[in-house]
Chain A
């Protein structure tokens, strides 16, 4: 029992990075912009959070700086893809390269050293002391509750139960129709892409301030790409995205447990699990369950830039 409680606890901790980054990507893709820069944004956020915490000693400030850096990078990306309408795939790859490269260059001085302040686990009276559930569900830091509870519910409500959410989805599905209905396609795309980038960088801050409390070059390790894949698997829905993140947190946690308990499998092989799992989740549902394709389809207008004069 104790192992399972520990596994679930680690699953939440590890899955938080993927869940938050996937939430950001859901926002961007729902308005019709594929942001492949998540990997670079996570790196930038992770590095700037550590840099802030090292010099100020405040974890919250670190998180906010990461969000701000992500938002600014997102605005650059959105300027290129939404306003200038350059190729989204190329710009996304460019953002990944720039983010990864800049984070490694600027973060070199404090690479490998532990972060002085991290987000502490909250102790909730009564709940945290429950025998199994206390450890699995109620002994996390505040960000875990925000990522897995508050944010997805709020976003789900906003996207599916408000007029603004309807407008937002309309922009992603059919920008020409949305434009005709008086919704500003450019504004919607610009701000949600930037906001999504801020969340991705926030996932980086979560990575270095709560999950792996240190910064090093390879710390992101493809999590951004897994998050992009999870969004497709989650059918572009916030709650599904968070659950998919949790599932992958669980796969990662299995790998950790295997290493800690000296299972007779090399740690490199265990580290492959999340990537192979993502591959399987991207391919298997589509083959085995045809209806899934329609149900979980991507927004119609995705990756296509919108030209008002060429409707």
Chain B
């Protein structure tokens, strides 16, 4: 007698996949709550604290918007690359190097703000693209996995930023330890301390969504990501597209770095990326690499990161959030696979 049978389907229906996504997030939060109560902390009280600290005041909401900004850029960066089947694990490095290049412009080029700011954004984007250039070419022409090469560049960029912030570009006033002096220009504020960064990120997401859905190039990118062999056979320039998209991916992360240094922080300092690049991977994966979805998941991760700051006051570290992120990612990966299964009810009567 066979009451139910599982069958694996080649594609998961979007609704089922979405349900598994939500379930995986809830399950991860539940697991975290259990771990917290085992360690002797009250998860309910902590959760209430996180919610009230985030949504209870305009300060909390402003912080949320500022955290949202780097996550949107890094998430979009990873998502765009995922569309063509490339893993950009190096958003962290491109973010850092973009911030580095933008800072260079701000510190050494004189001019009116309306000239310097676009120049900084351009420098950030070019920097981000440059930082992914070698992994891109290695992937396109030598078939070297971009996954590890982009990641290794992260460490180099972080060390580079640390070096300039403690050495050549150290604040000459002698007041600061590991940071450059305050940048002469900054991204104008929109609301309270929130600058243009988050809003530009939202526009960028919409633009990318339109690009992927409605342009010929975007269509070809999707095909090349889904089935490179078929795309090549149909005469699409797969290699050129791969290079273009990966450079775009780097540029987006670099722009995020520029917004962070010129908007949120105001100066270049060690650890400016604060794991945003790594959490960006999470943002993109949870959104299934859809640009509009990235907005939602980036918001969710911003709440989680903000919660991490609250947890810090409870004797935990910011790294606790990284562990929670990993847990969500693990459950989401498992849920993704399980969404492929369909329950069959064989209509065979037992005699």
| Majority secondary structure of chain B interface residues (helix, strand, loop or mixed) | helix
A222, B285: Cβ atoms under 8 Å? Answer: no
For residue A94, which residues in chain B have a CB less than 8 angstroms away from its CB? 326-327, 329-330, 333
Q: Which of A217, A266, A293 has the most CB of B within 10 A?
A: A266
Residue of B nearest to A98 (CB): B326
* B300 within 8 A of partner (CB): no
B149, A282: Cβ atoms under 8 Å? Answer: yes
* A307 within 8 A of partner (CB): yes
For residue A307, which residues in chain B have a CB less than 8 angstroms away from its CB? 8
What's the least CB distance linking A44 to chain B, in Å? 11
Q: How far is the CA of A97 from the CA of B148 in the complex (A)?
A: 16
Q: How far is the CA of A193 from the CA of B148 in the complex (A)?
A: 20
Residue of A nearest to B316 (CB): A105
For residue B278, which residues in chain A have a CB less than 8 angstroms away from its CB? 97
For residue A295, which residues in chain B have a CB less than 8 angstroms away from its CB? none
B159, A268: Cβ atoms under 8 Å? Answer: yes
Q: How far is the CA of A93 from the CA of B329 in the complex (A)?
A: 8
Contact with B along A263-306 (1 / 0, CB 8 A): 00010110110011011001100110000010000000000000
For residue B162, which residues in chain A have a CB less than 8 angstroms away from its CB? 268
What's the least CB distance linking A41 to chain B, in Å? 12
For residue A287, which residues in chain B have a CB less than 8 angstroms away from its CB? 141-142
B337's contact among A87, A217, A272, by CB below 8 Å, is which?
Answer: A87
Residue of A nearest to B145 (CB): A232
* B163 within 8 A of partner (CB): yes
* A75 within 8 A of partner (CB): no
Residue of B nearest to A288 (CB): B142
For residue A100, which residues in chain B have a CB less than 8 angstroms away from its CB? 319, 322-323, 326
A84, B334: Cβ atoms under 8 Å? Answer: yes
For residue B332, which residues in chain A have a CB less than 8 angstroms away from its CB? 90
Residue of B nearest to A217 (CB): B319
User: Interface residue tally of chain B, by bracket?
Assistant: 35 or more
A86's contact among B87, B145, B323, B333, by CB below 8 Å, is which?
Answer: B333
Which of A14-22, A137-145, A223-231, A236-244 is the interface stretch? A223-231
Q: Which of B160, B315, B317, B333 has the most CB of A within 10 A?
A: B333
Q: Which of B159, B281, B282 has the most CB of A within 10 A?
A: B159
Within 8 A of B (CB), among A79-122: 80, 84-87, 89-91, 93-102, 104-105, 108
B159's contact among A84, A271, A278, A310, by CB below 8 Å, is which?
Answer: A271
B155, A275: Cβ atoms under 8 Å? Answer: yes
* A221 within 8 A of partner (CB): yes
* B156 within 8 A of partner (CB): yes
Residue of B nearest to A79 (CB): B334
B317, A105: Cβ atoms under 8 Å? Answer: yes
Query: Nearest 4 A-B pairs (CB), nearest first?
Result: A101-B323, A97-B326, A104-B319, A98-B326
19 additional contacts (CB under 8 A) given A101-B323, A104-B322? A84-B337, A87-B333, A91-B333, A93-B89, A93-B329, A94-B326, A94-B329, A94-B330, A97-B325, A98-B327, A100-B323, A101-B319, A101-B320, A108-B317, A217-B317, A266-B167, A275-B156, A279-B134, A282-B148
24 contacts between A and B (CB under 8 A): A80-B333, A80-B334, A90-B330, A91-B333, A91-B334, A93-B89, A93-B281, A97-B322, A98-B326, A98-B327, A98-B330, A99-B326, A100-B322, A101-B322, A104-B322, A105-B317, A105-B323, A217-B319, A266-B167, A268-B162, A276-B152, A279-B152, A279-B153, A310-B8
